[in-house]
Homo-oligomer: A and B are copies of this chain.
Amino acid sequence: MNLKRGLDSMFKQIPGASFSVQYWDGETIAYGEEKPEFLLRLRDPSSVRRLLRDPFMRLPDAYVSGQVVVEGNLQRLLRLGYALDPRLLRVNPLRKALLYFATLARRNSLRGARDNVSHHYDRGNEFYELWLDREMNYSCAYFEDAADDLDRAQCQKLHHICKKLRLKPGQRLLDIGCGWGALAAHAVREFDVSVLGITPSKEQVARCQSKLRHSGLDGRVEVRLQDYRELETEPFDAVASVGMIEHVGKSYLPAYMAAVARSLRPGGTGVFQLISQTHEKAVAPWISKYIFPGMYLPPLGELATEMARAGLRIIDVENLRPHYALTLDAWIERFENKREAIRVMFDDRFVRMWRMYLNAACAAFKYGELNLWQVTFTHGFSDRMPLTRRYLYDEPARQAPSTRRVA
């Protein structure tokens, strides 16, 4: 009864939120002034008591196990984590510090990185095919307009990056963390370059290679099962790395930047796209444990310092933060449309776990402090960059290139 009264008092202190809570005794109480955005069902007091001692870990856990049920808008529930006074959540600062060091300790050594990547990306290509866009971009899209569909927005992202790279026919592009090859295929088809893509994911290499063969691009794109530390010194004209720095880890950032500098000819252009915390801190513990082991999201200050040390000179930084919220909402919609197929492929628990992950990431971009940077740089200063960024916007907004389907 004390616990219920404590929760009731905590919920009443949350500003600007409207929701209902069904307590274990059957009573449902509505909080806030508006129509409830979600209903939170709490099944038993002892699991709630445990949850309150470590909410950022145990709320998602309880959701996945079914001890806590959420009906309605899950992101609005997760928003409460940002809106609540941290003192109400009783998060132990010692535990927070330990978590931070635990994240640093999950080292992305050559072997560790391969395991960490495999944990997420080798779930099976069929799974990702169900809900990603048709070119299988697993990173933030670029919405010229919030109403753009996902296929168009992902194609616009690839085009935006290629334009930032100022690719010229015949040039060689290195794509570090090439995923399922969407950027490589776009760069070859639209900018007439050749590409080396590397990834430590076996499933991605297999899918890339068959896709490239089918589309006749295999003479222009090579995909290797390789870590960035295994790159030989080759003078590429351009380097792209999209959604990859997140997997490098704090202690390996200098090695990563050095590998990029070694692989990019002096004066050559590069683009990084990455998720980045506003302040230096560990990734949310539940995400780090279940979804992305080894993930670290360097703040811009740290990234800029490491790039400067490696001789990578920043010329342009764009924060696409709202674009990742739009991308994740599109993924969530597609994921939910295919949830029966995903349930058959895995199980109920898996569906809830991924629903939690996608919604938590989306909430962090909408209500939290995540950024999505596109950083353009040259290896050493270059005199050959255009004076202004107008060249990125010289095509009308609605004339992104057609999203042609690769067979």
Residue ranges of A at the interface with B (Cβ–Cβ < 8 Å): 142-146, 278-279, 299-305, 308-309, 313-319, 321-323, 369, 371, 381, 383, 385, 387-390, 392-393, 397
Contact = CB atoms under 8 A, between A and B. Distances in A.
Contacts of A316: 317-319
B144 A388 contact: yes
Given A304-B304, A305-B301, A145 B393 contact: no
Given A300-B314, A301-B302, A323-B387, 7 more contacts: A145-B387, A299-B304, A304-B304, A314-B317, A389-B392, A389-B393, A390-B397
A318 B315 CA distance: 6
Contact of A381 (B369, B383, B390): B369
A160 to B, nearest CB: 9
Copies of this protein in the complex: 2
A381 B144 contact: no
B381 A321 contact: yes
A316 B385 CA distance: 18
Given A314-B319, A322-B383, A308 B393 contact: no
Contacts of A385: 322
Contacts of A305: 299, 301-302
Contacts of A144: 387-388, 390
Nearest to A378: B319
A329 to B, nearest CB: 14
Contacts of A301: 300-305, 308
A308 B299 contact: yes
B387 A308 contact: no
Contacts of A387: 143-146, 322-323
A278 B313 contact: yes
B315 A319 contact: yes
